[in-house]
């Protein structure tokens, strides 16, 4: 049987999940909102994989760093 | 740390958000004292309290001064931007405060209670895990039932085969009958 080549979805076709909800500010206290964009090791995931726009990625970075400082989120797992 | 602009006059007031983390091991009296002290330091500069939100005990993501659990309080104060700098140092040296942060919320920020949302999220997550477990068990049960059915079918099929097998006819009898047929002259083949 001939294997079909695995195809990744086009990263350009991804929509920013924050833009869809028209998020104006990502709160560092809102753990459930930030969690999906943090990987297992506690790093912020790349925009390429999550599809977040640059504006929201910067907000996400800010809120994640604040959450880490306050002990709500890990620096490194 | 809040950013300050040079052109701010002393009359301007803004809303600032304060978040404090203190250990969960404090007694009730110590906790009340701590909160009172913190509020006093902030209000000394003429700040007006808008909201106060006690989050309750929550696990920490990493150890802070040997503590693995802490309590959070979130305040919103309306105050002069210049006072923030004066407040920051006293807050840092307040005993029993593990961490504190001062944030300037953006325009049109609505004060929401995130602790309730967090608790609900934790519950939903647990439920999701439970549901997954249940689904897995159900799938396993269905598979076992199917296997049992197949086995029953197989046994039934075997029995049918045994029944279907006819007893072997006697060779001699057949040959005798054939001979009779062949020797029959009335047949016109």
> CA-to-CA distance for A70 and B22, rounded, in angstroms?
10
Task: Tell me which H or E stretch contains A73.
Answer: none
Say whether pLDDT at B8 is over 80. no
CB-closest option in A25, A69, A75 to B99: A69
A77 within domain boundaries: no
> CA-to-CA distance for B64 and B60, rounded, in angstroms?
8
Which residues span the domain enclosing A42? 13-70
Instruction: Decide: B59 and B29 in contact? Cβ < 8 Å.
Output: no
Say whether pLDDT at B68 is over 80. yes
User: Do A71 and B60 make contact, defined as CB atoms within 8 angstroms?
Assistant: yes
Instruction: Decide: B38 and B20 in contact? Cβ < 8 Å.
Output: yes
Q: Determine the pLDDT at residue A12.
A: 65
Structure tokens at A49: 């994989």
Residues of A with CB below 8 A from B73's CB?
none
SS3 A1: coil
CB-closest option in A25, A27, A74 to B62: A74
Q: Determine the pLDDT at residue B166.
A: 67
pLDDT digits 0-9 by tens, A6-60: 777 666 677 888 888 888 889 898 888 899 999 999 999 998 888 889 999 999 9
Number of domains forming the structure of chain A: 1
Burial class of residue A42, CB neighbours in 10 A (0-12, 13-18, 19+): middle
Task: Tell me which H or E stretch contains B87.
Answer: helix B81-92
Lowest mean pLDDT among A64-68, B42-46, B125-129, B181-185: B181-185
> CA-to-CA distance for B187 and B126, rounded, in angstroms?
88
A62 within domain boundaries: yes
In this structure, what CATH number is given to the domain that contains residue A39?
4.10.640.10
A58 within domain boundaries: yes
A75 within domain boundaries: no
Q: Determine the pLDDT at residue B95.
A: 86
With CA atoms as reference, the chain B residue closest to A24 would be B106
B59 touches chain A (CB under 8 A): no
Angle at alpha carbon of residue B76, lines to B72 and B35, rounded to 5°: 45
pLDDT digits 0-9 by tens, B93-106: 888 899 999 999 88
> CA-to-CA distance for B124 and B113, rounded, in angstroms?
17
In terms of Cα–Cα distance, which of A60, A55, A48, A45 is closest to A13? A48
What Rg value do the Cα atoms of chain B yield, rounded? 42
A48 within domain boundaries: yes
A1 within domain boundaries: no
SS3 B99: strand
Prediction ipTM score: 0.78
The label of the residue with tokens 């709160």 reads A27
Alpha-carbon distance A25 to nearest alpha carbon in chain B (angstroms):
7
A6 within domain boundaries: no
Instruction: Decide: B76 and B50 in contact? Cβ < 8 Å.
Output: yes
In terms of Cα–Cα distance, which of A38, A36, A42, A31 is closest to A74? A42
A2 within domain boundaries: no
Long-range contact pairs involving B171-177 (C-beta distance under 8 Å, separation at least 24): none
Residues of A with CB below 8 A from B114's CB?
27, 29-31
């Amino acid at each position: 049987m001939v294997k079909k080549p695995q195809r990744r979805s086009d990263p350009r076709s991804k929509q920013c999940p924050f833009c869809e909800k028209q998020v104006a500010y990502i709160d560092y206290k809102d753990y459930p909102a930030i969690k999906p964009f943090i990987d297992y090791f506690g790093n912020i995931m790349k925009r390429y994989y999550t599809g977040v726009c640059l504006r929201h990625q910067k907000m996400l970075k800010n809120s994640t760093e604040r959450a880490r400082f306050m002990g709500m989120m890990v620096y490194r797992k | 740390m809040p950013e300050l602009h040079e052109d701010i006059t002393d009359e301007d007031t803004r809303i600032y958000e304060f978040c404090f983390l203190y250990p969960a091991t404090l007694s009730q009296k110590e906790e009340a004292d701590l909160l009172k002290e913190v509020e006093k330091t902030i209000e000394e500069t003429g700040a007006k309290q808008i909201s106060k939100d006690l989050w309750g005990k929550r696990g920490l993501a990493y150890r802070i001064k040997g503590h693995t659990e802490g309590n959070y309080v979130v305040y919103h104060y309306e105050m002069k931007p210049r006072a923030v700098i004066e407040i920051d140092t006293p807050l840092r040296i307040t005993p029993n405060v593990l961490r504190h942060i001062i944030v300037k919320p953006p325009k049109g920020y609505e004060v929401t209670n995130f602790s309730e949302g967090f608790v609900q999220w934790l519950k939903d997550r647990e439920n999701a895990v439970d549901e997954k477990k249940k689904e897995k068990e159900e799938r396993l049960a269905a598979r076992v039932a199917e296997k049992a059915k197949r086995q029953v079918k197989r046994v039934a099929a075997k029995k049918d085969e045994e029944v279907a097998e006819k007893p072997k006819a006697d060779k001699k009898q057949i040959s005798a009958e054939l001979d009779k047929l062949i020797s029959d002259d009335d047949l016109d083949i």
